[in-house]
Amino acid sequence: AWTRRFIQDLPTRIRFDLVFSGPKPMPVFGKLQSVSGGTKKKAVVALDERKVENNNDILAVMSQALDIAGPEARKAWARGPDHLVCVDASIPRQAEETAHAVVGAANGLKARRRQVRITAVGVHEHAYPMMKLFAEQSGGRYLSLTE
């Protein structure tokens, strides 16, 4: 519900994508799209059809989101995101890399180098230390919605 409302409240002056985690990253659009009624609707429908999985690969998902304009830093700075919102409702247990300190530090470092703030929102059971680490390292914020 939180993510659905966030999408519905996006202002029209920005571009966005929605990337789901699972065994591999699954973007809705595959590139940043302008906010419109149609793109919001497509994102919300995709969100409603998606099931939460425990075999999420947060490292791969965040890397894909940071590289959405291309893996080179020059392209990412020119056409990539300047803010990521990571909403997580599970603990990565079956990904290639599951160590919270490693995933948190890798995401935080890459985001900081790209000058991308990460807002990390933990819902239900989630990897608190990992999310807090990459949010803080990127200059973003961590929010727990477990209570």
Condensed to tens digits (0 to 9), the pLDDT of residues 50-105 reads 876 666 788 888 899 999 998 888 888 889 899 999 888 776 666 777 777 888 89
Q: Are 56 and 22 in contact (CB under 8 A)?
A: yes
Looking at the DSSP bridge assignments, the partners of residue 88 are 122
Q: With bands split at pLDDT 50, 70 and 90, how would you rate the model's confidence at 147?
A: low
Q: What is the number of other CB atoms lying within 10 angstroms of the CB of residue 147?
A: 3
Q: pLDDT at position 1, please? A: 83
Q: What is the pTM of this model?
A: 0.85
Count helices and strands (H / E) in the chain: 6, 7
Rounded Cα distance, 93 and 130, in Å: 13
Q: With bands split at pLDDT 50, 70 and 90, how would you rate the model's confidence at 33?
A: very high
CA 132, 50, 23, 54 dihedral sign is positive
Q: pLDDT at position 44, please? A: 95
**Kind plus residue range of the DSSP H or E element containing 45:** helix 37-49
Q: Are 27 and 62 in contact (CB under 8 A)?
A: no
